[in-house]
Structures are given as structure tokens and as C-alpha cells.
Amino acid sequence: MKVGKEPSFRESVDLMFNRAVALMDLPPGLEEKIRVCNATYTVRFGVRLRGKIHTFTGYRAVHSEHMEPVKGGIRFAEAVDQDEVEALAALMTYKCALVETPFGGSKGGLCINPRDYDEHELEQITRRFAYELIKRDLINPSQNVPAPDMGTGEREMAWIADQYARMNTTDINARACVTGKPLNAGGIHGRVEATGRGVQYALREFFRDPRDVAKAGLTGKLDGKRVIVQGLGNVGYHAAKFLQDEDGAIITGIIERDGALFDPKGLDVSAVHEWLAKHGGVADFPDATHCAEGASVLEEDCDILIPAALEGVINMTNAARIKAPLIIEAANGPVTAGADDILREKGTVIIPDMYANAGGVTVSYFEWVKNLSHIRFGRMQRRQEEARHELIVSELERLDRYLGEAWSMSPNFKDKYLRGADELELVRSGLDDTMRIAYQSMREVWHGRDDVQDLRTAAYIVAIERVAASYRAKGL
């Protein structure tokens, strides 16, 4: 990278990695082994559409195979290129290590604007791309397991899973070849909301420690905090909705492709989401100020900024003007390495992408385990748990009768206590636990070492240490 020039996405990831590695004591050469992307496969394939053959370009990068399968989403976007998928694959390696999901890192992408094609055409294109990857084991339950990312969702994952099953008719674990599938195709409750839910759990954990809150110059809890979110897609919508509905945060700004909505009193996230789905943009949404230059709203006054759309949106051109004291990177790579330097200098606290959006891969891990075990979570225990609770409740009822006026059970206690956890509750509980523990591992390094000034460096140190340990265990 030249001095003063904005680094590319991959250069940004490498610079951040190098900053952390400089504070570590790795054996000679291991640093390079961990940093480099193992392999990137580029495929060009044709699909006959509208009477003519269209050629598409796709990628699957495998960053690290210290654990297999490797894991990472498939993105459909026009800007996809090798640099981007390699950067995203590297982030997946560190993310999986940080949240302790037993995967290496990978990422895929297809250069396409999905809005240019109808559903049938998209299915043909997706199946063909999947075919190219499956035949090279770049989609495989034990080697490489994709998931949704920008421009893809449950529908595309179901097509990929079906394509794999058609090509591997005797593989009993076929469904585990991809995660983020719809429930009726082997998905898991809570996967769609998982990344946004993880952002909520991450913020809750941040606000549990007054020292962290003070570092951002904030006080109190999430309740009443003013939030601006960029991108009301899968991740941004769920994060904003949960923070508004369950934590009392006020969503003052929503930035989309066609501009931003702003209302200091708070926007109704569900209403904006419905409007966006119906009209394809936010421009004419009633009851809010619309700003055509959406990105400028990133610079508005707020307590928490959630970039949840795409990479590089906070860069050297606007970083100095960002007022939010706390940024949580729901998207991958929204802050460039250059911007990161400027923001750290200003004292802005950044909850880094590799942690902040790890909810998706965490619940993908649960889905993969569910597919391999061929049984939904809770199926064996739920009624047994209820029966044991019934025993306690009947004893309490006896006490209630015995003590008469002096004591009685709280209203709703019986119903709430008796109910055994269903799959969604178990998934949320596993995700909450994962997000808390991973944050605590970063916090320990952040507070415990004088040479670590920020959460991102702390996250890299924890993740790289784990990847290094895994290589050491293999004798490398």
C-alpha cells in the first residue's frame, strides 16, 4: 500500500492482521502461513437465458484449512472480485476462531446484480454456479460449507442444497453441504435473524461493563441510545428491530441505496422495512426527513453507528467527520484500515466485524450440527424437562395451599417455568452464550494489556493465537 492511499479491502484486513501480529510472539514464518489465502478458484460459466448465452464469473476463496470444513457465505453482487472474496475469506478464518466454531475460513461470490433477473433465471444461474463448485468439492458437508451473504438468502441456499443432493444421491449428510436453508429444507429456527440478533447480544455485552461504556464516552444502558443503521437488509433490519423493540434504543437514521431517512424522535423500523420491500427504496417514506445523499447521514450525531450494508463505507474521506462514539461493524469491512487509524486516534470505540457479525456463522454451526445429527435440538429433552419442572410446581402448589394468605406463587410463574425450551430458544441461548464468551475473551486482552488499545487488535490477537495453536497441534 502507498502512503496516504486508501488500502483495498484485502490490504485493510492484512494491515489490521499485521498490527496484531506485531504484538505477538509467533514462530518465524507462521505469521505468513496464517495470513495468506490458501487458494482461490475462479470459474466462468455460461447459462442460456432469453435466447442467448450469458457468461458469469464466480469465485470461491479458501483462506485457511487449519480446520475443516471451511465456512463462508456466497455473495451475489456486481462488485465481487478476487480481492474482495479473499479479504472476506480471511475474516471468516479469524471470526470462526474467535467464536470457537470448528471451521476454517472461506468465501464465495458471483458477479451479478440479482435484481436484473427473475426468480427462474436466478435459479438456473445459482444451480449452475453450485454445480461448478460442487464438482470440485468447493461445496461439500465435510470440506466447504457456504451460507447466505449479501444478495443471497434462504431461497438460494435451498437451490444449492438441492443441487448437491442431486449430484450426491447417496450422501446421507447432503443437507449439511450448506447452511442458511429454509426450515423445510433442513434449516434451523433462528438462522435468518441470527446475525442481527448477534449484533444485539454483542451490544448488550458491551453495555454490561461500565469500563467499556466509559471508553466510548457513553453512560448507562442501551435504553434511549440513538442509533443510525446503514443497510436495512437481513443483518441491519434484524439488528435495528431487536434493539428498538427489546432494548429501547431509538433508531434515528436508516441509510439505504436511494438515500437516508432521519427522525430524531425515532423511525418505525418495521414500517420502513415493509416500505422498502414494497417500493424498492426508502425515498418516499412518509413521516421522516429524506436525505438523497445517504452516506452523509453516517456523519450525523448519534450514540451508536451500525454499518450493515457493505465494505469501505467509512474511509479516509469521511472518517474524521464521523461523530458516533461507538461503531459496531455489522457488515464485513465497513471501516478501512486508514479510517480505523483516524477513528482510533479520535477515541471512537469500534466493535469489530469479525466479532460483531459472527452470529450468522454461529447459528450456521448449529444448523450444520443439526443436519449431521439428523435430529432437531430439544426433541429428546423438552418433555422430560417439562415433567421434572411439573414435580417442583406441584410441590410449590402444595406449599401455596399450606401457607394460605401468607404466600402465593407469582402470576405466570407456572406457565413460564413449565414450558421446556423449543429449538428457537435453544438457538438463541447458544448464540447469546457464544457472543458473551467471545466478547469476554476480547475484553480480557483489551483491558489486560497496555500495548492493546482497541477491540479489533484484541480480537485479532485472540483469533490468531487460536489458529496458531491449531497449526502447532498439527506439528507445523
Q: Is 148 in the site for ligand NAD (CB under 6 A)?
A: yes
Distances, alpha carbon 271 to alpha carbons 77, 195, 281, 439, in Å: 26, 21, 13, 32
First-residue to last-residue Cα distance in the chain? 30
Q: Could you say whether residue 105 binds ligand NAD (CB under 6 A)?
A: no
For residues 318 and 408, which CB has a smaller minimum distance to ligand NAD in the complex?
318
What Cα–Cα distance (Å) separates residue 88 from each residue in 82, 207, 270, 335? 10, 28, 30, 13
Stretch that binds ligand NAD, among 49-57, 170-178, 252-260, 400-408 (CB under 6 A): 252-260
Dist. CA 436–CA 439, nearest whole Å: 5
Give residue for cell 475462479.
42
149 is an interface residue for ligand NAD by CB under 6 A: yes
**Residue 454 engages ligand NAD in binding (rule: CB under 6 A):** no
- Tell me how far, at minimum, the Cβ of 298 lies from ligand NAD, in Å: 9
Does residue 234 bind ligand NAD (CB under 6 A)? Answer: yes
The cell for 155 is 431461497
Nearer CB in complex with ligand NAD: 146/151: 151
Which of 58, 236 has the CB closer to ligand NAD? 236
- How far, rounded to the nearest angstrom, does the alpha carbon of residue 33 sit from its chain's CA centroid? 25
CB 460 within 8 A of CB 94: yes
Binding-site member from 332, 362, 434, 441 for ligand NAD (CB under 6 A)? 332
* Contact call for residue 314 and ligand NAD (CB under 6 A): no
Q: Which residue has the cell 478458484?
A: 41
Residue number, nearest CB to ligand NAD: 233
> Min. distance of Cβ 148 from ligand NAD in angstroms?
5
Question: Which range, of 54-62, 119-127, 155-163, 255-263, touches ligand NAD by CB under 6 A?
Answer: 255-263
71 is catalytic: no
CA distance 176 to 159: 13
Q: How far is the CB of 76 from ligand NAD (least distance, A)?
A: 8
Tell me which of 213, 309, 314, 327 binds ligand NAD, using CB under 6 A: 309
Count of other CB atoms within 10 angstroms of residue 450: 5
Q: Which of 52, 71, 95, 107 is catalytic?
A: 107
Q: Which one of the spans 57-65, 324-332, 439-447, 450-458 is the region binding ligand NAD (CB under 6 A)?
A: 324-332
Q: Which among 132, 149, 107 is positioned nearest to 57, based on CA atoms?
A: 132
- Give the contact letters, 180-219, x = binds to ligand NAD (CB under 6 A), - = no: ---------------x------------------------
Stated as kind and residue range, the H or E segment containing 42 is strand 39-49
Indicate the helix (H) or strand (E) that contains 53: strand 52-64
362 belongs to the binding site for ligand NAD (CB under 6 A) = no
Tell me if 338 contacts ligand NAD by CB under 6 A: no
Q: Which of 302, 344, 297 is nearest to 320 (CA)?
A: 344
Candidates 63, 70, 122; CA nearest to 364 is 70
SS3 367: helix
From the list 55-63, 224-232, 239-247, 463-471, the region that binds ligand NAD by CB under 6 A is: 224-232
Q: Give the nearest distance from C-beta 46 to ligand NAD in angstroms.
A: 26
Task: Return the amino acid letter for 158.
Answer: A
Query: Applying CB under 6 A, does 310 fall inside the site for ligand NAD?
Result: yes
**Using omega within 30 degrees of 0 as the cis cutoff, is the peptide bond preceding 307 cis?**
no
Which residues within the stretch 289-308 sit at the binding site for ligand NAD (CB under 6 A)?
Answer: 294, 308
* C-alpha grid cell, residue 235: 443483518
- Chain residues binding ligand NAD by CB under 6 A are 148-151, 195, 230-236, 255-257, 294, 308-310, 330-332, 357, 360
Q: Which residues are marked as active site?
A: 107
